[in-house]
Amino acid sequence: MTSQIRAQERNQKIIKTAWSGLAAKIITVSVSLVMVPLSVYYLGKEQYGLWVTVSSMVAMLSFMDGGAGNAVINLIAHSAGANDNNLVKIISTAFFSLAALALIGCLLFLAAFPFVSWGWLLGVPDSSPLTELNAVVIIVGIFFFVSIFTTLVGKIQRGLQEGSLDNFWAALASILSLIFVYVAIQNSASLLGFVIAFLVGPLLAYMTSNIHYYFIRRRDLRPQLGRFDRVIAKNLFAVGGMFFVLQIAGVLQGQADNVIIANMLGPAAVADYSICMKLFLIPPMLFGLMLTPLWPAYREAVGSGDMQWVKQIFIKSMRAALLISLPSAILLVLFGSQIIALWVNHGVVPSTGLLIGCGCWMVALSLGSAAAVVVNALQIMTPQIIAAFLSGVVNIVLTIWLIPHVGAEGAVYGTLISYVFCVVPIYWLYLRKVMR
Q: What local confidence, expressed as pLDDT, does residue 208 receive?
A: 92
Whether the Cβ atoms of residue 60 and residue 282 lie closer than 8 Å to each other? no
Tell me the Cα Rg of the chain. Answer: 21
Pairwise CA distance, residues 196 & 202, whole Å: 11
Whether the Cβ atoms of residue 32 and residue 277 lie closer than 8 Å to each other? no
Q: What local confidence, expressed as pLDDT, does residue 33 receive?
A: 78
Kindly list the domain boundaries of the chain, sorted by start residue.
3-435
pLDDT, tens only, 135-181? 888 888 888 888 888 888 888 887 777 777 777 888 888 889 889 98
Q: What local confidence, expressed as pLDDT, does residue 334 receive?
A: 92
Helices 230-250, 87-112: axis angle to 10 degrees equals 50
Q: What local confidence, expressed as pLDDT, does residue 346 receive?
A: 63
Q: What local confidence, expressed as pLDDT, does residue 329 receive?
A: 92
pLDDT, tens only, 32-88? 778 888 888 887 777 778 777 777 766 655 555 556 666 777 777 777 666 666 778
The chain-wide mean pLDDT, for the chain, equals 79
Q: What local confidence, expressed as pLDDT, does residue 360 receive?
A: 93
Q: What local confidence, expressed as pLDDT, does residue 67 receive?
A: 61
H or E stretch covering 251: none
Q: What local confidence, expressed as pLDDT, does residue 363 receive?
A: 92
Q: Which residues of the chain have pLDDT under 70?
A: 1-22, 57-70, 80-85, 125-130, 239-255, 292, 303, 345-347, 379, 434-436
Pairwise CA distance, residues 262 & 256, whole Å: 10
